[in-house]
Amino acid sequence: MSTSSTSKRHEILKCLRSSSSVSLWRLRELALTKGGLLDSNLRKLAWPKLLGVRRLDYEGIEEDWVNFYGLYNSEIQRFGEEKGVKSFYTKTSYPLSESTISQIKRDVTRSLWHFRTSQSGEEKKDTPSNRKKQDQKTRKKQTIVGGIILDVLSSNPSLHYYQGFHDIVSIFLITLQNPELTGACLGRVTGRHLGDAMGRDFGGLIEGMMFCVMPLIEVVDKKIAEFIRRSEVEPFFLLSWLITWFSHDIKNLETASRLVDAFISSHQLLPIYVSVALIKSRRDVILNTECEFAMVHGRLSGIPGEVGEEEWDDILIEAVRVMKRVPPSGLSKIAGGYARKYERGKEKRPITKILGEGGWKEVGLLKPPPEWVVTSELPADWFLLKERNTGVKRGRSKGARKRGKVKLEIEEDGGKLRRGGFNKGDLARSASGLSGDKGGGDWVGGFLKGGGLIVGLIAVGWAIYYQQIEMIGGGGGF
């Protein structure tokens, strides 16, 4: 392990354990900078905290793959047996269609890469003995993935399964090693972050894509935007990126987990900003492609699989830099300007239609972030355990009184952050989508400095956010 990784590991553990309260802004900063949260052991501690889930409520069953919901018993030897899935299905409180269950079975059964790669992304050594053991473990884990998906859908009737959700579930399960904790964490991300994808169709997600992607590309690189317009390629090529958080395209568990570090630390729009940063990173290759629909579509679609593991850190920093420049509260303004410039007189006017009908107001991606993305602090696990065992009540910590002094102590990243337009401690605030250079509604700065009630500040911030959107987007001047 390098000196820098050792140093960052120390900082992550210090953040999680050195006080009775965990500074979530600092933890988010660590999740967003080079290497993210480093490995599955640290992620297992940090992901629930970032998502506002009490990990200790699910302790003690980390290795209990076999007995989860009684799925893997003497009658169920492999996931592909219909009886196994129906055995779980009969225990759900919400009826799921047979077609949904069959689709989940097919997706989980044929998706093996999550379980056959290590955290480093390397294949297990292929020997007959290892292959047999790996197949047995894979079938068990696939069974659990299927059960978790059914449980998540059953617990919220408004959610609908889509192909690709199993990729995200698998990454969470492999990292957290606890089916019930995985389900609880997924309950968070299936709200605002994946809510549009889990609607009855992808209508809301597609509206969000059309509303954001080309206007943002126009902001970061007009030449790429003009090239894509001439090719007549629309942003549908990045749909699989968004619904699987890029995992389906990159097929590398460590990289996929590192992206999850960032996405659960940020505004739900970050995957779109990452998509824009990805496209910008391949500027020369794109512009040297023949400007013809099929060629450009193929070129753009394949970008995530070409990105090296080390490049993702730079792409994430660039994505947050773009979000700081154009925060979510400013998207309707640039979308309106883009539509006036490029859609006037055209037969297809998707952004004009979205603005005119006010459909963007119903798109989850375009709403304020969920509360857990902007919560300032939560009790540390060790303190919760002490409280549970001794009955000691948690008081207001010294760290809480000095809320907001978020300082990243990894000097190696400081220069890169400053070059990207960030001061130390500023990256997480920018990734929350609630601070920016212009009209960003930077109420998080007051949130961090003021020390007032969290709920009250969140309510005020959301009100300001909606007011800005209404002022900018109402009618769009059409």
Among 8-17, 119-128, 136-145, 334-343, name the one with the lowest average pLDDT.
Answer: 119-128
Fold of 1-37+200-478: Cyclin A; domain 1 (1.10.472)
What's residue 405's pLDDT? 34
What's the pLDDT score for residue 28?
95
Q: Hey, what are 283's tokens?
A: 């500027």
**Portions of the chain given CATH number 1.10.472.80:** 1-37+200-478
What's the rounded Cα separation, in Å, for the pair 306 and 270? Answer: 20
pLDDT value of residue 39: 92
Return the higher-pLDDT residue of 103 and 346: 103
Distance, in Å, from the CA atom of 152 to the CA atom of 478, rounded to the nearest integer, reads: 42
Residues 403-420: what's their mean pLDDT?
A: 35
Report the pLDDT value the prediction gives residue 302, as an integer from 0 to 100: 92
Range name among 253-262, 267-276, 310-319, 393-402 with the lowest pLDDT average: 393-402
User: Partners of 117 in the beta sheet?
Assistant: 123
Does residue 470 carry a pLDDT above 60? no
Task: Judge contact between 173 and 43, C-beta under 8 A.
Answer: no
Residue 389: pLDDT over 60: yes
Residue 80: other Cβ atoms inside 10 A:
14
Rounded to whole angstroms, the Cα distance separating 48 from 34 reads 20
- Best mean pLDDT range from 172-176, 262-266, 414-418, 426-430: 262-266
Nearest-Å Rg of the Cα atoms of the chain is 23
DSSP tag of 309: T
Contact between 356 and 475 under an 8 Å Cβ cutoff? The reply is yes
- Which residue type occupies 113? W
Asked whether 424 and 447 are in contact (CB, 8 A), the reply is no
> Taking 60 as the threshold, does the pLDDT of residue 88 lie above it?
no
- pLDDT, tens digit, for every residue of 182-237? 999 999 999 889 999 999 889 889 988 988 999 999 999 999 999 999 999 999 99
3-class DSSP state for residue 38?
Answer: coil
* pLDDT band at residue 465 under the 50/70/90 scheme: very low
CA distances from 430 to 364, 387, 406, 417, 425 (A): 19, 34, 13, 12, 9
* Residue 440, pLDDT above cutoff 80: no
By DSSP bridging, strand 21-23 and strand 377-379 are antiparallel
pLDDT tens column, 281-310: 999 999 999 999 999 999 999 999 899 888
Using DSSP, state whether 23 is helix, strand or coil.
strand
Give the Cβ contact number of residue 311 at 10 Å.
Answer: 13
